[in-house]
């Protein structure tokens, strides 16, 4: 299986688990000094290896005929600040986004081990901008997950398995916090 096919397995999984919508969210993986990244404006479940884009750490397209995601600045800004990071996943997961700082990270015992950090919360900044890229990269200098207010979620990992798992853990934490809150009001 090629690197592109292996990468797409995770993109499809993220879509079918409901973390990505047809056109929102983006995924990248670092290979040496190059970054394999999803293209802009292409339906995620139908992406082919040929539609993926290879860029360098300045965002220049090395291979591929499509444009990279409009959030490419965020991906390269993170790789530049975190040499240990091999994959970046950005989703528009609704529940963690609306709950943001209200998520209780202590509610599921395994979460701390999987996340390896707190969940950073980044104030709203217009998507696709250099300002957002810098703010997210700064928030992820000491954290592995960030919630972007009114926008979505970013998780990093040494590889795609670790980054994708962190997205799923944050989604679980948001759900668990919501369930616990609702149940505590019912018990009154």
CA-wise closest residue to 30 among 81, 66, 65: 81
Closer CB to Zn ion, 40 or 165, in the complex: 40
- Tokens 């900044």: give the residue: 125
DSSP β-bridge partners for residue 157 = 87
The H or E element containing residue 157 is strand 152-157
State yes or no: is 50 an active-site residue. Answer: no
Query: What is the C-alpha to C-alpha distance for residues 44 and 15, in angstroms, rounded to an integer?
Result: 7
Catalytic residue among 4, 6, 51, 71: 71
Measured from the CB atom, the residue of 38 and 143 that comes closer to Zn ion is 38
Map residues 104-143 to x or -, x wherever contact with Zn ion holds by CB under 5 A. ----------------------------------------
Tell me whether residue 60 or residue 150 sits nearer to Zn ion (CB atom). 150
Residue 159: phi and psi, rounded to 5, are -145, 180
Site string for Zn ion, 137-166 (x = CB under 5 A): ---------------x--------------
Number of residues that bind Zn ion (CB under 5 A): 1
Q: Residue 90, SS3? A: strand
User: CB-wise, 69 or 177, nearer to Zn ion?
Assistant: 69
Judged by DSSP in three states, 179 sits in helix
Q: State the distance between the two ends of the chain, measured CA to CA, in whole angstroms.
A: 55
Retrieve residue 103's tokens. 């998520």
Looking at the chain, how many residues does it have? 188
Site for Zn ion, rule CB under 5 A? 152
Query: Any idea which residues carry the catalytic annotation?
Result: 71
């Amino acid at each position: 299986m090629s690197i592109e096919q292996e990468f797409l397995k995770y993109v499809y999984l993220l879509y079918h688990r409901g973390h990505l919508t047809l056109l929102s969210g983006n995924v990248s993986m670092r290979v040496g000094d190059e970054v394999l990244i999803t293209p802009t404006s292409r339906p995620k479940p139908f992406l082919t290896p040929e539609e993926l884009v290879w860029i360098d750490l300045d965002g220049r397209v090395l291979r591929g005929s499509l444009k990279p995601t409009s959030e490419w600045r965020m991906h390269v800004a993170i790789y530049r600040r975190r040499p240990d990071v091999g994959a970046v996943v950005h989703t528009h997961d609704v529940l963690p986004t609306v709950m943001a700082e209200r998520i209780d990270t202590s509610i599921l015992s395994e979460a701390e081990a999987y996340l390896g950090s707190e969940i950073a919360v980044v104030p709203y900044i217009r998507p696709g901008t250099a300002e957002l890229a810098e703010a997210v990269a700064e928030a992820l200098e000491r954290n592995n997950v960030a919630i972007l207010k009114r926008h979505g979620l970013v998780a990093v990992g040494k590889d795609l398995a670790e980054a994708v798992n962190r997205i799923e853990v944050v989604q679980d934490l948001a759900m668990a916090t919501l369930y616990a809150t609702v149940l505590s009001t019912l018990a009154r």
